[in-house]
């Protein structure tokens, strides 16, 4: 993950992060559906989508923990 992308996640608001998680999950569902129906799918798109979701959820959890400490 590029350093610029990490700072981009930190700059996003919590609502923006939650919206990004939802849209990325929809995209992952489409990728899996297309793969199951036999359409040509990039081999790395599923992996990249899962990793993006994990990064977003990690940032949300970090903020949740920081808010609980205060």
Q: How many angstroms separate the CA atoms of 52 and 34, rounded? A: 19
Question: Count of domains in the chain?
Answer: 1
- Assigned domain for 65 exists: yes
Q: Which domain holds residue 49?
A: 14-69
State the pTM of this model: 0.85
The whole-angstrom separation of Cα 34 and Cα 41 is 7
Q: Do the domain assignments include residue 21?
A: yes
CATH number at residue 35: 1.10.287
DSSP string, 5-44: HHHHHHHS-HHHHHHHHHHHHHHHHHHHHHHHTT----TT
Instruction: Identify whether 8 is part of a domain.
Output: no
41 is a domain residue: yes
Tokens 């700059």 correspond to what residue? Answer: 11
Q: pLDDT in tens for each of the 70 residues of the chain? A: 556 676 789 899 999 999 999 999 999 999 999 999 988 778 799 999 999 999 999 999 999 999 999 8
Residue 57 forms part of a structural domain: yes
């Amino acid at each position: 993950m590029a350093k610029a992308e990490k700072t981009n996640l930190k700059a996003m608001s919590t609502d923006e992060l939650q919206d990004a998680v939802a849209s990325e999950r929809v995209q992952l569902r489409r990728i899996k559906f297309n793969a199951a129906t036999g359409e040509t799918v990039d081999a790395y798109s599923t992996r990249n989508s899962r990793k993006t979701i994990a990064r977003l959820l990690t940032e949300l959890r970090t903020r949740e923990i920081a808010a609980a400490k205060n």
